[in-house]
Structure formats: C-alpha cells, structure tokens
Chains A and B, each alone.
Chain A
Amino acid sequence: MNPESTELLQGTLDLLILKSLELGSLHGLGISRRIEQITHGTFVVKPGSLFPALHRMEEQGWLHAEWGASEANRRAKYYRLTRAGQKQLGEETARWGRIAGAIGRALEAT
C-alpha cells in the first residue's frame, strides 16, 4: 500500500463510494481500487473503513447489494446505487462543491 496516501476526510468516504458506483455495480475490492484510481492514489480505503461504510449505506437505502461472480469467477458481493443513492450522490456532490469552494476562497484570502 502507498504509505503516503492521505487519510480520508470525515464524510468524504461516503461521497467517494457513491461516486465510484456511479457508472455501475462493483464489489468491495473493486470499489476500493476504483477510488484509488479516480483519486490517483491519493485515497486508499482500508477494508476496516470500507465494509462498515458499505453496510451502513446499504442499511440507509443508498446502496443495493447482491451476490454475483467476479472476473476471476470468484463469488463476490456487488453493490449498486439505488435511486435514493443517486439522489444522495447529487446532494453530496453539490455540498462538497460548496465546501471546496469556500475552503479554496478562504485559503486564497489575504
């Protein structure tokens, strides 16, 4: 694992998981790799954080999980966004945009 990978910010994990599932269903390891990929290795999600988050989000109704077969023909649990999850992704993205913008402006201010 990349030792320099940044610790996830509070609340960003949910957003990243939702984002990683935007294009289709993925299993746990797939989500983890996808997040690494889309953040260019900045964020590495460990299973100890990933699984609790997945289960929590599933219980909240944002994700739907079902068993399927992986590329290597392994049995794996696949997650996809529900309609509520898509809505949540939209809201989180907008919120994140606001926060990022505000922080950015704050840091530029003299």
Chain B
Amino acid sequence: MESLAKIRSLVRNAIRRARVERDLDDEVRSYARMLADEGRDRGLSAQEARRQALIDLGGVEQVKEQVREVRMGTRLETIWQDLRYAARMLRKNPGFSAAVALTLALGIGANAAIFTLTYAVILKSLPVPDPGQLVRYTFRERGVSDLSISGPAYDSLRRHETVNQDILAWSNTDLAVDENGTVTRASGALMTGNGFRVLELRTYLGRVFGETDDVTAGGPNGYQALLGYDYWKRHFQQNSGIVGHPLNVNGRAVTVIGVLPEGFDGLIAGTPTDLLLPLSFEEVTNAPHPMRHFAGSFWLTVVGRLKPGESLAAAQANLRATDAVVREEADPSHMFLRGFFAPFKFGVESGRGGRSFLKVDYAGPLLILELLVGLLLLLCCANTALLMLARASGRTREFAVRSALGASRRRLFRQVLGEVGLLAACGLVIGVWLGWVAARALVAMLAQVGQAPELDVTPRITILAFAAAVTILSALASGLWPALRASRTAPALDLKQGETLSSSKRLGSWIVPLQVAISVTLLSAASLLGGALVHLLLEHTGFGSDRLVMADVDLSPAKPTSKQAGQDARQVLEAVENAPGVQSAAVLLGPPLHNGWSAGHYFSVEQHGAVHSDMQTWPETVSPDYFAAMGTQILEGRGFAKADEGGSAVCVLSASAAAFFFPNEEPVGRSVYSGGSDPSKDGVHLDPKDACRVIGIAEDVRFQSLREPPPRMLYSLASDDDGATRFTLAVRGSGSGLSAAALRNAAKQVVPLAPEPTIYTFRELVNAHLQQERMLTALSTCFAAIALLLTVLGLYGLLARSVLLRTREIGLRLALGAPRREALLLVASQGMRLVLIGATLGIAVALVVSRLLRSLLFDVRPADAVTLAGVAAVLVAVALLASFIPARRATKLNPTEALRHE
C-alpha cells in the first residue's frame, strides 16, 4: 500500500515535474501570504508584515529546495540536473574538458590494454562447461618451466587415475593442407579419443571423434578431422557441406566430420586450432619416427576432469602415491624418468585456462606492466585533480553564488564530482577504444617468427567491466578532493574576495611532488628495462647476424623416407648455394634461439683410463659450411670440409665444451664418444664406432637463448642416410632479399609437395626471441614519456595559476622595490621545491620497484646511482623549463597594473 503510494509519487514527480514544481511554489507562497496576513492582523504595516513573513519563512527558494531533497526520485532528478549543469559548464570550457578527458583516457586506455593482455594470457578460462573442474598434469623441476609429458607416461598416469573421470592428451603440431594443389600450413592439434568427453566439448556442426577413431590409420574409415570455427570461416566460407568431405592433410586423406564451436582455440593459449585430429595421426606427422610410445619425448599436454567432489589436493596425493610405479612403467630403461629427468616431478594444477606457454613467459612481464600502468593511472588522476583544483580556484565566486542561492554543500560536492564523472565517462569511451587498438598492437608484438599468436583482444564484457571499474575509481580519486574543496565554500567571504583568497595550498601543490615521484619511478623502470634489452643486444652471441637469412623447411607432407629426406635436404642446399648472391649456406637440424631443450644425449671421453660423461652438451647436426654461414669463428684447428662427409666421423667442439672435456689438454685430434651413460656408473665400455675425432674448436655461441650463458656444443655432420623431415637452412649472402628468393625457389624446385618454408632474417629471429624485453622497453618508455609530459603540464599549470593568483602580491613586492630577479626566484623556487621533494620520494620508490623488476626478470640490473641521478636530472631539467615560462611572466609584471589586478 505504502510502496504503491511511493511509486505513484515517483512517477508523478518524474513525469509531471513542471506541475509539481508549480504546486510547490504556490504552496510555499500561500504560506508566506498567510503569515503576512497574520502579521497585519497583529497591526503591522503591509510591507513590514511581508518582510517579517519572509524572514520567518527562511527564504522561499531554500524551503523549496529542502522539500525537493526529500521528494521521491529527487536523488535521480538532481543527479540528472547536476549532470546537465556539469555538461553545460564543460561545454563552455572545451580546452579544459578535452585535457581532462584525454588524460583520463590515456590512463584508462593503458590499463585496459594491459588488462586485456593479462586476461587473454593468464585469466581466461577454456570455453567448455565447468572449466573449474579441469586439472592439468605438469612435469617440472623447481624453477624450470614445465615440460610436457611423454606418451608412455600419459598411458601409465591414465591407468592409475582414480581422482579424475578421465584424462586426455593433447599436442599442437603444424600441418600441411593440400587445397587443390597448393599446400598451405595449418595450425593443427592432436587429441586422444576421450578428449571430447573429458572437456565436455560439443561441436558447432557435425560430430566428434571418439576412442574408436584414435587408432592406427584412424580405424576402418580412415582419419577423422574437425575444423576450427575460424579456419572453417576463412577457408571454407562457412560452407556446412564440407562435413563428410575428404581433406588432404600431410599427404593423407582425412574426412572432415565436424566443426569446433566458435571461440574454442584449443588447450594451448595463443596457438589456434585450425584442424583437430586424433592423437594417432602423430604416426603421420612424425613419420618415419613417431614418438607416441617413446619414453624420451616429452610432448603431450595432459588434462583431466575431476570426479564430482574430488579436489586438486586429492589428485596431487594420488600422483605422489603412484609416482614410482608411473616412472617404472613409462620408462623401463630408467634412462629418462629415473635418469636425467629424475629431479623432475609430476604434479597437477588447475586446468581452468588450459595451458599457456605465454603465461610462463609473460606472467612476470605482465605483472610489471600492470604495476607500471597502475602508476600511470595514478598520475593521470593526480593531473586531473590538479586541473580540477585549478579550475575550482577560479570558480570560488560561482560556488559562493550557488551556495547563497540555496545549493547545499552536498549539492556543490556532487556538482564537481559530476563534472569529473562526465569527463571520466568520455575518457572511458576513448580509453576503451585506445586500449583495444593498443592491445592489438601488443599482440602483434608477441608474434613469433612466421606466426602471430591468436589472442582474442576484442573488448568483451570482462574487459569493459574492468575499464568501467577503473574509470569509477579514477573519477573518485581525481574528483573527491576538488569536490570537497568546492563544497567548503564560505559564501560571505568568497563573494567579497573572489579568487584572490586562493592560496597555492588550495591549488593542490602537494599533488606535484606525487607526480614527480611517479615520473621518476616510471622513468627509472624504463631505463632499467631498456638497459637490459640493450645489454642483450650488444652482447656477443657468437653468430654473425648481418646478412644472415634462415628458413624452416618441413618435408613431412611429401612423406619421404629418412634417406630421401637427407637427399632432398642436400639438393635444396645445393640449389641455394648455386643461386646468385649466396656466399655460403648450411643445413642445421636444431634451429638457434628457440629456447629449446635437448637432453638424454650423453657424450663421453676417456681420460687417464676413466670415462667422463656429460648430458648437458648440445648436439648440433650441421652441413659442412655451417660455420661460415652462421658467422661463428673457428678458434683452433679447422671447421668442416666437404671432404669430411661420408668419411670417418669428425666433430667440432665449442670452446667451453673443449675446456670441459679436455681441461688443460689439446683437444684437437682426441675422440668424443656419443652414448655412454651416467658418470656415476663405472666401467662403461666405450664403443669406437660411436666415436668422432675432434678437428677444431669454435667460439662459444648463445645457441638456445641470448639470456643464458653459452651451452657446451658439439657439432657433427649430418649423414645422408638419416635425414630429418624438418630442418633449418641458414644462408649468408649479399642481400637478404636475394637469399630469401634463393631459399624459396630452391625449396619449391626440389620439393614441390612441401609447404612454402618460413623465411626470416636472423635479426628478425633475435627480435622475436627478445620480444619480452622489447615489449617491456617499448611500453615502459611510452609510459615514462606520458608521465613526464603530464608532470610537466601539471607543474606548468600549477605555477602559471599561482602566478596569476599572486599577481597582486608580486606586484606589491615589485612596487616596494624588490628586484625583478626576486620575482623570478619566487616562482622558480616554488616549482623546484616541489620537484625536489617529489624526486627524493621517487628515487626511494624506484629503488623498491627495481628490486621487484629484478625478482621478475633475471636480466635487469640493479638500479645504480648513475641511472637514478640521470633520471632525477632529466626531471629537474624539464621542471626548470616548465617553471621558466610562468616565472618570466612574473618578472614581466607591471606593478601598477598588477596592484589593480583582481
């Protein structure tokens, strides 16, 4: 009943506002008239009675305002009114409005962009039902990023599974799809037949494959494949007729049985799934050496779904209990799981987001970036607050008038907050757009050679909600203080004095040191991150990166035998060598700078009757011209020659390998044995037929990663009989364009069935390899530049405003005979004081931040005095510039005019 009445009133107040207002006015005025009537009855004159009545009433407008405040829907209405008023005020000051909206847009946009990335890389869940029930098996050593799991280990884990309903195995692999004669690359994935059940994944179209399809040759009907939604859209124009049709993948006919749902990109973040095939297809992709049952290949991502009511902890306990059995079953030879990989432990973690290699690489950098954009946002808020305060100081009189006209303090407070809110809303719109553009650019920066990671960065509800939350926070952070100031108006005083009363305290001079501190922090972060990048780029890698072009070749679609593959590789190499502009070319089996991991290969030497084995020497199989092509210097002895091919086995050691195997001895001419075993076991017999003779020593190279010290290397020549289907070609020539053309033509000519090789210069490889550092440097520099700009603008604005407000004071000083220099000093010292306080504070914060950076990224050096002093000097110099203009204006003041200034 009562609520009904309330709703009726709300509707009435909202719809018939004019009438309600008129009604109220009539009512209050009639009250006043009746009061006056009473006064006349008491014998007062008509005029005196009216005056007395108005005094008793306390002001018609004030009473009306008080009634309005309790009215239903008042809050909404006055807010609407305040907003319209605010919008009007802002339209009148387009410059100011644009400055604030853009400042906030920058802060919001930067935060939205980084959050988009963080969300896509770290926070996003797999688009399957109940992803929280998914767990992922890990295999890792402390501090080392986790390895995948071998085929036999997966089988054994599955056999002993009690906590999960079932576990699946997944692996991404490049596929070659033959579309009417042209072979294109597709990003494929292989999954065990139980996968759809574990994920509870349904298709968009067609059916799924099951365990009966995950067998050799895909069962009686051949291999069955599902298309990724985007791939289906791009390559088959969403034609649903494709279901049931054959497709030629890696030279095999497979049948398309369905299309995966939109948004499902597979289990590995950043790697799209164009085609999904049963795991048994691996016998095709890795022919002739499939690794499904090999204990020493770690290539599977294993994901399970917990039984209802089971927990991660239970899964962990189950793993601990079965660890020994699994190791025994999965590797009876004890070479791997009990050998080199003994320190690696099986584990489980949440599989909610699938697996993300980007997460491993980028969790640290993204955390840093989140911190930096957070600081940047704080700075943007500070700047906005400063602008609002400066504006408020010029509006003292306006506020005083409004207050005298019956606006309550709360109303004034709301008005200022409303203005900030409106501007922040504009900032939000621009910021979301900026963030989207920036996020796309960032994803492009994450590109590996030959492909960009497919990360969805379209602003979805989560991102928008985040941006909105950031906006509200920043509007409050930048608006509260100015709003409080505005509401504390004292009409009687302010109306008389106008703006001259405003002190610099009212201008929020405490904000400037805060800005300077943030700028110093961001600048030093940028210089530390940039320093790390420069250091990595300048360090000697052992490769001659000039004019070096590489190509990744994949012969597997042509299904060659090992022997054929070897011959094909040789032919491609010869064709490249004979092409114009090519100086030297080489084949190498393991490409450099791929953060690769090779283990399980022993090398041994015999020394003083004892055998020394090592498992951490990187075996690189190359063709004779390798050292010339890669630009690696031979320090001693000689490199390979064509004549070495087919003869007795020879090898070249890297300097560190030579020093390791033959300390204080002459390595050239000695033998290194491939094979051998654990050095702790004595009396190993070394077979002379596994031996290679050391013919030279090459300089150390940072082969796997520029971030790590050079590994021990052992180079040997590839034999024709055991060619690999995937290899890398390195070409040094007179120009990158010529080399690339030579590579492309040679591959097409020799192996027309293979997809076009991925061609890149060595510099591109280095850039892709250092993308983390490059991204951090680029972004932190960008943030620092924005910070510097905002700080300078803030300082300039504050000083300019303060000169304006102190015009009379300065004029007085000048009139009393103060030298003009003093006016200059007065203003400049005000600025400098703020900057110095801020810089001191900033250096303290920067020291803390640099420690944090170091804990997240190894290659960052500690903040040194030179960097910090340099950063502080930059700020002081820029601040001096910013104070100079207002200070000069102060000296130019004409005392007589200044004294009249109001």
Contacts and interface: CB of A to CB of B under 8 A. Distances in A.
A55 B6 contact: no
Interface string B61-77: 01100110111100000
Contacts of A70: 30, 34
Given A29-B35, A61-B4, A61-B6, A55 B67 contact: yes
A77 B2 contact: no
Given A47-B28, A48-B66, A59 B72 contact: yes
B47 interface: no
B5 interface: yes
A89 B396 CA distance: 47
A63 to B, nearest CB: 10
Interface string B8-45: 01000000000000011011101101110110000000
Among A46, A47, A48, A53, the most chain B Cβ lie within 10 Å of the Cβ of: A47
A75 B26 contact: yes
- State the main secondary structure of chain B at its contact with A: helix
B291 interface: no
Nearest to A83: B1
Nearest to B69: A52
Nearest to B5: A61
Interface string A26-62: 0111000000000000000011110111011011110
Contacts of B24: 51, 55
A17 to B, nearest CB: 14
Given A47-B63, A52-B66, A77 B30 contact: yes
Interface residues on B, range: 20 to 34
A52 B66 CA distance: 6
B58 A72 contact: no
B56 interface: yes
Contacts of A49: 66
Contact of A59 (B9, B34, B38): B9
B63 A76 contact: no
Contacts of A61: 1-2, 4-6
A28 B31 contact: yes
B128 interface: no
A99 interface: no
A75 B66 CA distance: 22
B287 interface: no
Contacts of B30: 27-28, 70, 74-77
B70 A55 contact: yes
A27 B67 CA distance: 16
A74 B33 contact: yes
B57 interface: yes
A8 interface: no
Nearest to A44: B56
A86 to B, nearest CB: 13
Given A59-B71, A76-B30, A51 B63 contact: yes
A59 B26 CA distance: 18
A107 interface: no
A109 interface: no
Interface string B650-662: 0000000000000
Contacts of B71: 55-56, 59
A21 to B, nearest CB: 16
B27 A77 contact: yes
A29 B31 contact: yes
A23 interface: no
A51 B6 contact: no
Contacts of B62: 48
A84 interface: yes
A1 interface: yes
Nearest to A33: B38
A71 to B, nearest CB: 9
Nearest to B64: A51
Interface string B115-139: 0000000000000000000000000
Among B4, B31, B56, the most chain A Cβ lie within 10 Å of the Cβ of: B31
Contacts of B37: 72, 74
B9 A47 contact: no
Contact of A29 (B34, B58, B67, B69): B34
11 contacts: A1-B56, A48-B66, A49-B66, A51-B31, A52-B66, A55-B24, A60-B2, A61-B5, A70-B34, A76-B30, A84-B1
The list of the 4 closest CB pairs from A to B, nearest first, reads: A61-B5, A59-B9, A52-B70, A56-B70
Given A47-B58, A48-B62, A51-B67, 9 more contacts: A1-B56, A28-B31, A47-B28, A47-B63, A48-B58, A52-B67, A61-B4, A70-B34, A74-B37
